[in-house]
Structure formats: structure tokens, C-alpha cells
Structure 1
Amino acid sequence: MAEEKTQTDLNNNSQAVFPYPGKTSSNVWNHFGFHKLNIEGPATRDNLDMAKVVCKLCGKGYANKGNTTNLQAHLDATHRQSIGMKKNLGMQKQPTISFQRQIPKLSTEKRDKTDDSLLKLLVGKALPLSLTENHFFKEFVQELNPGYTVPGKKAVMRALEKKNEEMHNRVLTDLKNAQGVSLTHDGWTSMNTESFDTVTAHLISEDWELKSMVLQTKKIEGQHTGENISKNLLETTSAWGITKVTSITTDNAANEQKAVKLLDWNRFGCYGHRINLVVKKSLNIPEVSSLLKKGRRLVTFFHQSSSVNDLLMIKQKDPSHCRNQNDIGHKLIMDCVTRWNSTLSMLERLIEQMPYITAVANDISISKSAGVTIKSNLFTFEEQTLAEKLVQILEPFLKATQILCAQNNPTMHKVITTKMKIMKFISIADSDDDIIRDVKRKMIDEMNARTETEDFALLGAVLNPDTKGLQFLCQEEKDHAMEILKEQVKNVNLSGKIKIEKIEINEGENTLPQLPSLPSENVIIENDSNKSIVESPAKKMKIMCSDAKWLEDVIIIGESQNTDDDIIENKIQRYLDSQRQNTDTTLTLLEWWKCNEYLYPRLAKVARNILAVPASSVPSERVFSLAGNIVNKKRSRLNADNIDKLIFLNMNMKMYW
């Protein structure tokens, strides 16, 4: 601010100086003010010469440009002694003592860990990234950790890009090291009527760990024809470097079957969909259809009338009607035609709530038309009995679906045993009435209908040491299972060496600790094209030296005279004749194969491929519910690439984050 001193300033020294009109933040204005324009008027902003600032002590004037730096300098240079000031005292406040805790700065390691937890929260709960810029969220974080600053949306996007790349590389490494990869595929439509395809991969690692991952969620352009689906599947496998597809599990839609046929891949038809079709067809009986229609009309009426539904809640709490405290608060359930499990849920809830529904129908407070509607759809005694019997028949199918749709454990080895368990429940009994007989007969016919994809299920049962004998199947099925197993073993190429850990044993010990029990007779272990003898039990396990290789043709002369088919059959028979040791009873299926891989190396390779095949396409269908949370009304403008990344990060978080 340029300093100005004029004759007018000198003449106005005796004129009164008025304080700054309004609130000020600087103590400088205690010593400066303004002259009036009209001496007789009030000291307001409109009547003060706001263009010129005047020192109250000496009358010196300065142009007022909104800056107090030169005013403070004037006080320091001219009036410091007269007013007892120290330098810059005018802008200082009285020193205070603060008892507030000093907020420590976060270390780089702690900040990175907190950032990573924030990313997990956003991705794991499918929250919008803009949450990090929300005032209330920032305030909440500050309460938790005042030293942490929430990153902005752009920073979060960059961090997710980096995390996506890291996870992509981890998945790529597992796929590259896999002996074989199984896939599942299904399609879904977003709320924006955009079609997407989801592909998941499943493999068993060298350490016999089942790994499942979502590979890609890709937007489909055009119709869902078999040609378009096969093209997208091929692009996905090529992008991930998958050269060997053991099998792909899909539903039984015609376009899915055609797509797999065009690719010349092995296909397993989703057993969950098959169960759905079995139940759906078996319930297509006039008496059962009439019962279900009445149930749906009741549910619809209670859903549409809030007053009637409220009365139902009251009747549930009424001691004169309440049969079970667990019934309180239960609303009626509407079934979905494409999901038979919902039909079971609807029938179970109607049976449970029928006494309360009857009480509502007889209540005088409801309208006459409402009472007539409810009474006309109430179950008769015969219909109530039929509904209870249907529930008993359908419950095993629900249990079977839960078993075969598991994702964290192998399921292919359970298909045949689950099927046989269902057949036991739906066997026709002498006490069954005609309607139940018709339902069961249709179920049995549908369950016995053989499909070309059941070979995987037979292989899975044989490769389970608990069911390898297939005692529950007829001889024809057993022979067929042995034929396809021989074909699989014949195609095995033992590349690499079988890893056998060398364990030193003290001379006084007679057993090998932490090692599976070996057969009493000598066992031939395959290593590429060579074979070596391992004595069991033994004091030490040794890798065969060159002398043993020189004698190999003599050691195994009995087997070398056999044909390849005989050798394979002998290996399979040895596996079938082996007894599961007592120590094996606590092992899971994959743990058993991990312990016995060196005994049956060819069969182990077949098991690693077959047991990785999912029995249902549920892994890809699970993406649908997540996608519904990501692509919602508030995030409807997400592009396809971001949808793919968010689904990829979320679904693979537990294993690869």
C-alpha cells in the first residue's frame, strides 16, 4: 500500500477519527479509523471516508486497499514505545495454554494399511466411490482416527486400478500353473437392459487346494446366440492364457449347449437346473396346480391389502390363536415359477400360517368381500394334507441343491450319491395316495433320464475313496464308469517328477511319522516313463539311484510283459482294492489325494481335473446379486469396464486381495 501524506491530512488532524464500522479480525484497527464525509451525520459506512485510513495517534493517512500490513508497520516503526508494543504485537493475541492432545502423524505403513482397509470396505460392500467425499463419512473417520485423511475419489480410483492389476497377475499365475481349468458360464441383464456374460474358473492347485475365481464380466452386443456366446468364451480364455479347458458347466439352454459344441469342449449340465426341471415337471399335475394357484391367490391378496396383513400380525400374537412364538412376525411368501425352492417356501409358510389366516377370514372387522376372498382360497383338509406331503417330498431336493451348489469344496463327487439319496426319498410306498404316486412317478422318470454329461459325475464318484466301489449302482453303470476312467488314465501324461519328501528316521523307529500308511507289499511309483520300488514299511525313504535304473527292466519284468491296457487296469484295480486307513477318516477328499498322490500318480492327475469341475453353474450366477447392488438406480451410468473391475475385485477378494 503506497503511503500518502497531503495538506488535507495536516488540516484534518484535529478532526475526529471514528472506528472501523463492523467486526474486524485484526487489533490494528484499535489505532486506526476514518473521517466523516458529513460531520453532522452518523458514523456509518455510508458517511465515512472509507477510501482513506487515519492513524488515531498521529493523524497520518493511508489509502485503504483492504490490507493492514503497512498499517502494522507504521505502528511498529512510529508508536512502538508510546503504546508499549513489541514488534507485530498488534496482530498477536494473548498467549493461551492448550491442554489438547497433540495428534500424532500416521506412519507410512499405517496409512497404507488404512487405505487398503478403506478399499476393501468400498469394494466388499459395493459402496459408491463418492462415499470418500461425503462430509458425514469424513467426520466419522476423524472421530475414529484424527490423524488419517480420507483420500478423494480420484485417488481411490487410482488405488483400485493398481489393486486390480495386482490381483489380475495373481490369478494369471494360478491359471498358468494349473494342470487343467474348469469354467462356468451364465448371462444376466442389468437394470439398464444391458446384457452381460460372466465366466468363472475353477482349478485344484499343486498343493491340492480348490481355487475359484471370477475371470470376466463382459457386455454382450447383439443377441445371445450360440455363436456370440462361443466367441466371447474364446476371447476370455485367450485373454487369460487358458489353453486346456477340462469342462464348462452351464445351464441346459439351447444356446449354451450350441456354444460349447462349437468350441468342442466338454460340458457338464448344471445339476441345480436339472433338479429345478425335475420338480417343475413333477408338480404339473391338475390337483397340485390347483393347490398352488389357491396359495398364490392368498399370498397376493395379503400382499396387496395392508390392513388385512396387519390383522394377520395381530392374530399371530393373540394367545387364543398363537401356536408357536416363532410364528409371530412371519409374512406369507410368494413363489417364483422359475425357482422351485420358492414354491417349497410358499407351501411351508402357508401350512404354518393357515390357522391365523382362518382367524382373519372369520374376523368381523374385515369387509365382507375380503372375507369371501380369503375363505374361497383357504385349504381344505384334503388340500392341507396334500401340501404337507408335498413339502416332505420337496425337502430332499432343497438339501440336494444346497450340497451341489457349494463353492468352497468339490461337488462333482457328490452328484451320484445325492441322486441316489433323492431316489430313496421319492420311492413309491404302499401308503401313498394316487396324487403323490403320480408326483413321485414323474420325479423318478426325470431323475433316471440319462444325459451325456453324467460321465463326469460317475468319474467323481469313483475318485472318491469312500464311494469308489459304486456299490449303489447296477453292474452296467459300474462297467461304464470303469471304461471312462480307463480312457482318462490312458490319456494322462506324467510330466515332471513326483515329489516325495525325504524324511530321516531314527534307527530305533519302525514307522514313518506324518506319512500315510503304505500297503504291506511293494508299491511301484511312476516317475515320467521310469518306475521305482518303494518298500513299505521302511526305516528310510530313498530316491532310486542310477544302479536301480540299470536293474529296472529286471525289477519290473512282470509288468513290462503286459500291454498298456493291462497296466492301466492293474493300477485302477490296486486303487479300488486299497482300504482306507483309520488315520484317513478325518481327511477331506482333497487332503486324502494330497497324501496318496505318490501312490496313484496317474489317477491323481485325473482327480485333479475332474474334482475341480463344479456340479452347478451357481458360481457365475452368484455374480447376479452382486451386480444388482453395483448397478443400481444411483449408479446406473457405470460403464462396462468399471462394472467388470468392481465385480472382479469383489468376487476374488477372499483369495487374491
Structure 2
Amino acid sequence: MSETASCSNAQSFVPHDTKANDAKSVWSHYLVARDKSEVAKCKKCNKILQTKGGSTKGLHTHLKTHNSNIVPKRDERDESPEHVPCKQQKIANFFPSKAQNTLEAMLARMTAVDGFTFSAFVKSADLRQLMISNGFHVPRSRETIRSMVLNYQKGIQKNVMEEIQKFHRDGERFSLVFDEWTSISNKHYLNINMFSKSKFWNLGLVRYKCSMTAEVCVEKLEERLLDFQLNLNKNIVAITTDGASTMIKVGRLIEPYQQLCFAHGLQLAIIDVLYKIESRPTTLNEADCDYSDDDFEDLDEDDGLIIYNGSEPVKYTEKNDLNLIITKVCKIVRIFRKSPTKNDALQKYVKTEHNKEMKLILDCKTRWSSLLEMLQRFVLLETSIRKATIDLKITYLQSSEMKIIKEVVSLLQTIKVTIEALCSREMNLHKCDVALHLMLEEIKQNKFSLSRILVSKIIERIKQRRTIMSDVFSFLTNPNNIYEV
């Protein structure tokens, strides 16, 4: 107590620079130390609290336990009865029992959850000694350990199969969500998730060594479902895939209804507008109407940005200007990321301003969300970057260009919130229509000149994915209010 009192007497506190007047921020109830030390002072009870590393957990806890009548307001969408937070599943949840402490169970958990390799149990003397001291006889062969883990996996698969068959006997049918995945060792897999009304199961990764054609995809789906005693055409109601041409053809080859992913459509719309892509027209019914990740891997930064309206290309000067600004941001980020000396010069100002080091983020063209992360971090460290570029004599962005970057961040944040909602497990076609409608209305209200172009591309991509089933579902849910895109 004496240490806290001396701290409060020695330090002076001031309102937070940017969030002091934000009623939704926890900082509206606290003062920060003038000397930028990691402490805060409660405005009501004058208690001094630690905020090491910029953490505000202790501040929130203090408000709830001591000043419950002034807890910051929650976001309005959290108050919505339809908003249910998605509970993140952990890989450990798929094990039969967390209380199992057999050698097989421990080896399986340590490889699947903690990322230990089979060789680690053979080569690590400390790990072996630790397990042996707990009464386990650890094999000295990597293949023996591998066999033990795979045998344990078969037991898990048997339990999953029994659970699925129970749902099947109760008359339930299922839907599938699947996509291709390439490992860091450049091996191709098909990842399959299966859903019922109340539960979902991951059916595992299916390895394939040939080109993933639509026929191969259907074959791998049938083989994996057969492992669980299910039939693709009889037990599966619907599938959800991205808009790649292979996946569209899969939908034509099988009986279950196909729904193309709306979140993937939003990603493609953003890439259409904010990145330079190969000139190619889009149609609603062509099999190649969407781009896969491979279409963006070898893009040159000096390619022209062309957006299609029908079959004739139309160039937009404002988008070309935006692309040049984003290119400038990328170049500045690369300068600091590739040079430890220049990064040290930047981090000196970052630590002074934020009390910790924060690296710049470089985006990936096949992941639009990385663009948002890059620009958000760039805007957050704007002052520090400007000072560092002055010291290093590096050309920085103009104030008008930074204003455009902030507008882009605002637009992408709106889309990010919508995509997170679309990807929640509680989402259905009716809620999807509502979310997309609200997102488009909010973007239209933005006075930024790019908003109009972004809205048109989003509508185009949504129309490629929206089917009569969306109208049917919306009508059955709320006949008086059907949202049209």
C-alpha cells in the first residue's frame, strides 16, 4: 500500500490522448501517467493499477468488481438477441476424454495439440526422462510411436462414427463444408467438415497426389464418407464451397444442393478493387467466374488495374491512384522489415509512444485481411514512422494520401465485421442476407469515392452466389421483410 501511495504522489496523471472522451472505452474511466509509465489511475476511487504491455484486463476487472455502476457500454451488436458469440473449438476437444492419461493418449495429445514430432520422443533425453519418471515406458523407435498415435486415432474415429450413426438413426441428414489445403511441405489435402443441426465433426484431411479435378474431388468425398458409413447423395443435403471452377463443377456432378461461400465472394470483390489483377471478364454462369489463390501468386506490382463492366474493360483513375498509395505503403514497410538498423530507428519512437515494440506488417495479396492489418498497423504507428523516415531521409506519404489510407481502413473494417458474422456457426441464409444488406448500406453512406466502386463489385460477386434458396429461406423466416441485394 505504501508503494502504491508513493507512486501516486510521485506521478501526475492526465486523460488518455485519444480515448478519454469515448464512453465505450475503458480509458474514459481512467487517467494515464504523464511520464508514459505503465500505470493508470481510476477517476472514481484513485486506485493505481498496472497496465504492463498495454494490457487493460486489470482495468476492466476493477470496474466490474469495484465500480459496477460505470462499466463501459457494450457494443450495440452484442446486445442483439441474435448475436451469439462463436465458441472456438480446440483440437483437444476431439479427444475421447481429457482425463485419459495412458501413454497412447499422452503421445497423441502432445503431437496433435503441442506440435511435438515423433522423433522428439526418441531424440530428447529430457522429455524421455520426464515421461519415464512418471512411470511410462517410451519406445525408442519413431515408427513405433507413430503406430501408437495412429491406433489411438482409430479409436477416436470409431467414437465419432458411432456418434454420427446415432444422429443418422434419429433421421438427421448432414451438410458438408470442404476446401483444398496445401501444407508447408507442399502436399495437397482435402479438408472436410460435416454439420448436423446441432453439432459438427471434422472428418480429417484426405491426401491426394494428382491434380484436383472435380471428378477426383467427388471420389475423395465419397471415400471419406464411406469410412463413416455415409452416402454422398443419400445422406448429404447440401455442400458449401468457394467459387473456384473445380468446386462449381463438383456441385453439378452431385445431387446435394450447393451454396457458394459469400465470405469468399467478398474477398474476391476486395481483390478486384484494391489489387491489380489480370484482365478477364466475369459472367454469372461461367465455370471460371472466380479466381483461386494461384491466380494472385505471381502478380507484378506494375500491372495495370482494370475492373470489368460486362465485357469491356474500364479504367478508374482514382483506383489507380489508390493502388499507387498502397504500393508506397508496402515499400515503406519493406524498408523497415528488411533492415534491422532502420527498424531499430523506428522502434525507438514506437517504444516512446506505445511503451512497447510493434513491428510493421506486410500484406499478402491472396488474403485481403492482411491488407487491413498492414494498413491498421501503419496508421497506428503513423507518427513514429514519420519521425523515423525523416531521420533516415526516406520519402513518406503526403497528408492527403494518409487520409485516403484511413478511409480504406474504415471501409475494410466494416467488411471484416460482416465476414466474421458470415463465418459464425449460427449463420444461415436469412441472417446472411441481413448482414450483407446492412454492410452495403453502411458502405453506401461513406462519402469516400471508392465506396461506389466497391459496392458495385460486392453486389456483382454476391449475385453470382445468391440463389432462390436465399429467397425461400428469408420468406419462411420473415415473410414481410425480404432483403434484396
Smaller-chain TM-score bracket:
0.5 to 0.7
Q: Which residue of the partner structure matches residue 141 of structure 1?
A: 131
Highest CA radius of gyration, 1 or 2? 1
Q: Which residue of the partner structure matches residue 278 of structure 1?
A: 269
Q: Deviations over 1:439-470 (max 9, x none)?
A: 444355436x423554454555566xxxx225
Q: Which residue of the partner structure matches residue 395 of structure 1?
A: 413
User: How far off its partner does 1:234 sit?
Assistant: 2.8
- Aligned in 2, Cα 1:330/1:459: closer, same or farther, shift over 3 Å? farther
User: How far off its partner does 1:354 sit?
Assistant: 2.0
- Aligned in 2, Cα 1:473/1:410: closer, same or farther, shift over 3 Å? closer
C-alpha distance in 2 between matches for 1:440 and 1:347 = 18
State whether structure 2 residue 194 is matched by structure 1 residue 201.
yes
Q: Which residue of the partner structure matches residue 372 of structure 2?
A: 344
C-alpha distance in 1 between matches for 2:201 and 2:407 = 38
Structure 2 unaligned segments of length 5 or more: list them. Answer: 1-98, 276-318
User: How far off its partner does 1:141 sit?
Assistant: 3.3
| DSSP-derived class of the 1:450 partner | helix
> 1:187·1:196 contact (CA, 8 Å) conserved in 2?
yes
The amino acid that maps onto 2:406 is: E
C-alpha distance in 1 between matches for 2:249 and 2:195 = 22
State whether structure 2 residue 436 is matched by structure 1 residue 446.
no
| DSSP-derived class of the 2:110 partner | helix
Paired residue total? 335
- Aligned in 2, Cα 1:255/1:354: closer, same or farther, shift over 3 Å? same
State whether structure 2 residue 143 is matched by structure 1 residue 129.
no
Q: Deviations over 1:399-433 (max 9, x none)?
A: 122222235x455553122112211211245xx25
Write the mapping of 1:258-277 to structure 2, written as runs, cut at 5 A.
258-277=249-268
> 1:202·1:211 contact (CA, 8 Å) conserved in 2?
yes
| DSSP-derived class of the 1:451 partner | helix
Equivalent position to 1:297, from 331, 335, 351: 331
C-alpha distance in 2 between matches for 1:166 and 1:403 = 35
User: How far off its partner does 1:148 sit?
Assistant: 4.1
Q: Deviations over 1:594-637 (max 9, x none)?
A: xxxxxxxxxxxxxxxxxxxxxxxxxxxxxxxxxxxxxxxxxxxx
C-alpha distance in 2 between matches for 1:304 and 1:170 = 50
Write the mapping of 1:63-82 to structure 2, written as runs, cut at 5 A.
none
> 2:429·2:473 contact (CA, 8 Å) conserved in 1?
yes
C-alpha distance in 2 between matches for 1:165 and 1:423 = 47
C-alpha distance in 1 between matches for 2:361 and 2:119 = 36
Q: Which residue of the partner structure matches residue 603 of structure 1?
A: none
| DSSP-derived class of the 1:214 partner | strand
Q: Which residue of the partner structure matches residue 288 of structure 1?
A: 322
The amino acid that maps onto 2:239 is: I
User: How far off its partner does 1:471 sit?
Assistant: 4.8
Equivalent position to 1:236, from 221, 224, 242: 224
Equivalent position to 2:201, from 206, 209, 212: 212
C-alpha distance in 2 between matches for 1:350 and 1:445 = 29
Q: Which residue of the partner structure matches residue 47 of structure 1?
A: none
- Aligned in 2, Cα 1:312/1:411: closer, same or farther, shift over 3 Å? farther
Equivalent position to 1:185, from 152, 175, 178: 178
State whether structure 2 residue 159 is matched by structure 1 residue 170.
yes
C-alpha distance in 2 between matches for 1:311 and 1:415 = 46
Q: Which residue of the partner structure matches residue 421 of structure 1?
A: 438
| DSSP-derived class of the 1:122 partner | helix
Q: Report the TM-score when normalising by structure 1.
A: 0.47
C-alpha distance in 1 between matches for 2:161 and 2:397 = 57
> 1:405·1:411 contact (CA, 8 Å) conserved in 2?
no
The amino acid that maps onto 1:136 is: D
C-alpha distance in 1 between matches for 2:324 and 2:255 = 44
Structure 1 unaligned segments of length 5 or more: list them. Answer: 1-109, 479-657
> 1:283·1:439 contact (CA, 8 Å) conserved in 2?
no
> 1:181·1:242 contact (CA, 8 Å) conserved in 2?
no
State whether structure 2 residue 407 is matched by structure 1 residue 379.
no
Write the mapping of 1:91-130 to structure 2, written as runs, cut at 5 A.
113=102, 115-130=104-119
C-alpha distance in 2 between matches for 1:111 and 1:182 = 31
- Aligned in 2, Cα 1:291/1:111: closer, same or farther, shift over 3 Å? closer
Identity %: 19
User: How far off its partner does 1:391 sit?
Assistant: 1.0
C-alpha distance in 2 between matches for 1:117 and 1:349 = 40
C-alpha distance in 1 between matches for 2:116 and 2:475 = 45
Q: Deviations over 1:328-353 (max 9, x none)?
A: 31111111111111111111111122
Superposition CA RMSD, Å? 2.8
User: How far off its partner does 1:151 sit?
Assistant: 4.7
Higher relative contact order (CA 8 A, sep 6+): 1
